[in-house]
Structure formats: structure tokens, C-alpha cells
Amino acid sequence: MVLIHTTLAGIIGGLALNPKNITETVGVVKAYTTRVGAGAFKTEDIEEIGTKLQEIGREWVRPQAPWRERRLAADADVDDLVVVKYSNSINYYDSLNLTKLDVLDTFETIKIAIAYKIDGEELDSYPADLEILNRAEVVYHEMPGWQKPTTNARTFYDLPRAARDYVEYIEKFVGVKIKYIGTGPDREAMIQRA
């Protein structure tokens, strides 16, 4: 159970850190969205795509007793970019660490949540009101998948072109450079960009 808010302010307060000692803030996001527990999850997919992501990404969590699966987003959806952008607005990331890119290696198409709409009107940001969030429709942007393994990539340019395009799209949308890219479960499977 998470006992502190997983925001920069929550970490500073929860761990009694001096904010003047923090020299870099790195946001860690998966290449697709997951959630544990109940609550609004606009991009959730409980069908074939979600099941495939659970299997490839090994998305299980053990709260107290039996293992249960994490809830997963639709159609290989990136960490809902509306949520990532909102997270950046309250945490002021210097860079991002995009993990589990390799889990998306077999998908033909990648759908990315880029906005929410209410009654046809696009919202300016992630809604703070749960009632509004529950009524919202998700706006998606589709990109081609790369359908090639990324697990042996050690530099950004070792990634397939479509995977690089995906990373660059996230950077442009969120407004933060992706400095680290996880391409597998091993410690060495991490691309570090300058």
C-alpha cells in the first residue's frame, strides 16, 4: 500500500527531504497504462489487448493474498498522455524514464490517449472532478507499431524507426525529454540518452 502521495511534494514531505538538495526530477512512466484497484480508468481494456499486455508485461500484483492482475489500458495505450502531462504539471520533471517499451514490440498499431472530451468539447487538462472524468470520452491518436524486438537496443538509434517516432511523439506532447528508455527486464536493457 502506498502511504504517501507519489508526487514530488509527497516524496519531499513523506521522506523529510530538503527540496534544495533535489537536483533532478525524473518521471517514471510505463509505455502503456496500468492501474491497481478500483477507480476511474478511462482507457481500460479487459479484452484481448489488455490480456496480451498483462501476459507480455507480467502485470500482476499481490496486495495481501492471492495474486491479481493489474488493470490495463486499451489497445497498447501509452501511459495516458493526458495523465502524464498533468503529472508533469505538478511535479516539474526534468526528464522521463519510459519503461517497458519492449512490451509493445508485437503490436501493429499503438493508440495514444491525447485528450478527453465532454459533450464534444475538448477539456484543457485532466479533470479533477470524478463525475466529469466518468462522463468524458477519450480522444486517441494512432501510430504504427514497430513489430520488431527492441530488447537488444543499446542506443536510441538502435530502436526501430516507428519506436523512435513513438518516443519523440510522447516527448513533444508532454514537453519533457525522455532520457531513459527501458527495453527489457534486465538492468542492462536501459537506453540512456544525453
Grid cell 495474486 is found at 67
Is residue 70 part of an annotated ligand binding site? yes
Is residue 183 part of an annotated ligand binding site? yes
Distance CA 111, CA 99 (A): 17
Amino acid symbol at 30? K
Scored b (16 or more CB within 10 A) or e, 37-46 reads eeeebbbbbe
Residue 69's contacts (CB-CB under 8 Å, 6 or more residues apart) are 54, 59, 60, 61
Is residue 68 part of an annotated ligand binding site? yes
Is residue 182 part of an annotated ligand binding site? yes
Is residue 37 part of an annotated ligand binding site? no
Grid cell 500482476 is found at 60
Is residue 39 part of an annotated ligand binding site? no
Is residue 10 part of an annotated ligand binding site? no
Is residue 101 part of an annotated ligand binding site? yes
Nearest-5° Cα angle at 160, 155 to 166? 95
C-alpha cell at 124: 484543457
Annotated binding site for GTP: 70, 100-102, 182-184
Annotated binding site for IMP: 68
Annotated binding site: 68, 70, 100-102, 182-184
